């Protein structure tokens, strides 16, 4: 799911230490920077988005 990032998103993500990207997912393979479920990881690698960007959430995300 694509979600536009605004200043409020950035503020709340930092304040509440929200995790939503592959590097914080249980299925992420750190060495190969890939998804063990076979999904493309590239669209979900940004952990600290900036206003004006877009976060693409993965439905299979599982917090480490
Ligand atoms: S399940 Fe989704 S969030 Fe988790 S590593 Fe794979 S692509 Fe990334």
Hey, whose CA ends up nearest to atom 6 of ligand 1?
35
pLDDT at residue 1 tops 90: no
27-58 pLDDT per residue, tens: 999 999 999 999 999 999 999 999 999 999 99
In short, whether 37's Cβ falls inside 6 Å of ligand 1 is yes
CB-count exposure of residue 21 (10 Å: 0-12, 13-18, 19+):
buried
The CA distance from 63 to 53, in Å, is: 23
Question: At a CB cut-off of 8 Å and minimum separation 6, what does 62 contact?
Answer: 25, 26, 27
Test site for ligand 1: of 23, 27, 55, most ligand atoms within 8 A of the Cβ:
27
58 lines ligand 1 (CB under 6 A): yes
The model carries a pTM of 0.91
Q: Bridge partners of 35?
A: 28
Q: Which residue has the tokens 């076979």?
A: 38
């Amino acid at each position: 799911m694509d979600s536009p990032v605004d200043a409020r998103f950035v503020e709340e993500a930092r304040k509440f230490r929200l995790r939503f990207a592959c590097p914080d997912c249980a299925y992420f393979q750190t060495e190969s920077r890939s998804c063990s479920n076979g999904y493309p990881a590239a669209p979900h690698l940004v952990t600290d988005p900036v206003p004006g960007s877009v976060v693409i959430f993965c439905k299979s995300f599982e917090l480490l």
